[in-house]
Amino acid sequence: MDGAFQDSSTAYQLNPRLRLTAYGGQFYAHDAALAQGPMVDLPTQRISTADYDTLRALKGQGVFLNPASTDDLRRALDEHGADTAMLDRWISARFVLPHKTPTERAQDEMVQRLTGHFGPDTPPVPFAQRETHQRCFAPNRFFNLPADTDPSTAHVAMVGLPFASLPISAGTQTAPDALRLQSRALSWLDFQKTGAYSDVVLTNGKPDIMGRGVVVQDCGDLRCAEQTPAGMYAALGTLLDDLDAHAIRPLFIGGDHAVSYPVVKAMLAREPHMGLLHFDAHNDLFYQGNVSFNHAAFLSNLLKDTRVEKVVSMGLRTTLDQRTQNMEQAYDRDDAGDRVSLVPLPRLKQLLASPRALRRAVSALGGRPYYITLDLDVMSEAAVAGQVSTPCGAGLEWHELHTLLHAIFAQLEIRGADVVEFNPGQGDGDGPARDINATLVRLIDGLARSGGKPRAYQEATDGT
């Protein structure tokens, strides 16, 4: 600790960027401006219950309304029966900052200039007390989530799968980190207290509130000793065991659609009767004699290599494909006709035009849990600004996707989901960042509803 911090004549004020939040049974200090950009003054950090309670109490009593001396702050701590060493921690962590009047700042600036030009024997101002922005690049995590979320409190885990299978999908391996950076416009530490609503879809004429009380964990990217499909499958097994132990629903972020094969295969090993809800512009039944790591063959792989019983592929719109032999083999050898229901885009649009018909169609799928795999090329090319590996012109719009997901989560149990084929290097314009973020929130909320773990509805206050 710099000795200057102990100077009783120094006045201190609360860092205006400090925010205190209860999350997942723990307490965190974080930057109030964190969601506005990647540079932060206060890195997100877990703090003790005593620090949290005392800071909230002092602020509530107006102790920080005006700059206070070290002695005054220590007396306030003593009156609360708190350890006065707290103040040293708060100063070191920049929760409280030295206060200087505009005149004092001007004087310091003048002294620094004179010291540099005329006063080599004059001691310089300590770096920690210089008028400078001491900020850092915050870790790149989905929705600015902390790194140490208690898994026993989490409802949903987000996992990056930075893998691409073919040259045409090169760039999708950068999607998890690109989406993390884009999602930083929202701080889940704040969001989970009040949630958010959308009036795109309603329940009994009223908007649903999404995300309130939901604890999310960013598990980072899936890593394996060998970046191969076999290595991915082994690593997925360990990850899913850990998530199952805490009743956490997984949300995977690809990568291209090849990653869905090992994910669904691993989940089917735990729930053999799980069905698959497949959103895609393509049927992904590209037939090859053997299982292959290919974004056009993830469903063909599953039919060959698992006993998946029910697949519903929605949003299909291939208009001309001469690989008829491949298609026929999928039906003749892998029983695609009995196991896969194809729903072309025109039929899906018809269901969307009739809420009652949509509810009936979704209800008819009941009786088993499902996994959702969302290939973003199911969206219209305009909706995703062309930022997918294989853009396909007309398709679903974002409001239609939200309507479908709302109906699915309202009637079916969903064990997990993935979002794949976002390719930040493709297309043009600003990209679909805001809409993908909103879709991730809807998926998180729906998975939390399906998980059955009670939510921690917390008082919508942030303390400081």
d(CA 50, CA 6): 22
- Specify whether 114 is located in the same domain as 187: no
Both 57 and 153 in one domain: the answer is: no
Residues 195 and 326 placed together within one structural domain of the fold: yes
**What local confidence, expressed as pLDDT, does residue 401 receive?**
97
pLDDT surpasses 90 at 349? yes
Structural domain contains residue 359? yes
Higher pLDDT, 128 or 441: 441
Flag whether pLDDT at 5 surpasses 50. Answer: no
Looking at the domain assignment, is residue 306 inside a domain? yes
CATH (domain of 327): 3.40.800.10
pTM of the model: 0.88
> Are 220 and 336 part of one and the same domain?
yes
Task: State pLDDT tens for residues 60-92.
Answer: 888 888 898 888 999 999 998 888 899 999 998
Tell me whether residue 434 is in a domain: yes
Handedness of CA 108, 111, 115, 116 (dihedral sign): positive
Q: What is the pLDDT of residues 280-327, one digit of tens each?
A: 998 878 767 777 777 777 888 898 888 999 999 999 987 766 677 677
Q: For residue 168, is it within any domain?
A: yes
Residues 123 and 152 in one domain: no
Q: Any residues with CB less than 8 A from the CB of 278 and at least 6 apart, and which? A: 284, 299, 311, 312, 313, 314, 373, 375
Give the pLDDT score at 300: 86
Burial degree of 423 (CB within 10 A; 0-12, 13-18, 19+): buried
Same domain? 85 vs 154: no
pLDDT at 460: 38
Same domain, 310 and 375: yes
* Triad 160, 161, 164: Cα angle to 5°: 140
Answer with the one of 129, 154, 179 that is the final residue of a domain. Answer: 129
pLDDT at 131 over 90: no
Rounded Cα distance, 419 and 426, in Å: 17
- Answer for the pair 377, 384: CB distance below 8 angstroms, yes or no: yes
Q: Mark whether 39 and 171 lie in a shared domain.
A: no
Angle between helices 70-79 and 49-60 (to 10 degrees): 110
pLDDT over 90 (residue 359): yes
Side-chain-side CA neighbours of 379 within 13 Å: the count stands at 26
Range of the domain at 333: 142-451
Q: What is the structure's pLDDT at 459?
A: 40
Q: Identify the pLDDT of residue 35.
A: 81
Query: Between 155 and 166, whose confidence is greater?
Result: 155
Asked if residue 419 and residue 389 are part of one domain, the reply reads: yes
Q: What is the pLDDT of residue 437?
A: 87
Exposed/middle/buried for residue 293 (C-beta within 10 Å: 0-12, 13-18, 19+)? buried
| Within a domain: 77 | yes
**Which pLDDT belongs to residue 124?**
62
Is residue 456 a part of any domain in this protein? no
Task: Decide if 409 contacts 449 (C-beta within 8 A).
Answer: yes
- In terms of domains, do 59 and 146 share one? no
Q: Of 212-216, 288-292, 365-369, which range is least confident?
A: 288-292
CB burial string 233-247: b at 16+ within 10 A, e below = bbbbeebbeebeeee
Looking at residues 231-252, what average pLDDT do you find?
A: 92
Q: What is the pLDDT of residues 425-448, one digit of tens each?
A: 887 766 787 899 899 999 999 999
Do 169 and 103 share a structural domain?
Answer: no
Q: Which of 85, 107, 129 is the last residue of a domain?
A: 129
**pLDDT above 70 (res 6):** no
Q: What is the pLDDT of residue 39?
A: 83
The angle that helices 229-245 and 260-270 make with each other, rounded to 10 degrees, is 40
Percentage of the residues of the chain whose pLDDT score is greater than 90: 52
Number of domains in the chain: 2
> Do both 71 and 205 map to the same domain?
no
CATH code: domain of residue 83: 3.90.930.70
Boundary residue ending a domain (105, 129, 153): 129
Show the tokens assigned to 17. 């960027």
In a domain, 406, yes or no: yes
In a domain, 459, yes or no: no
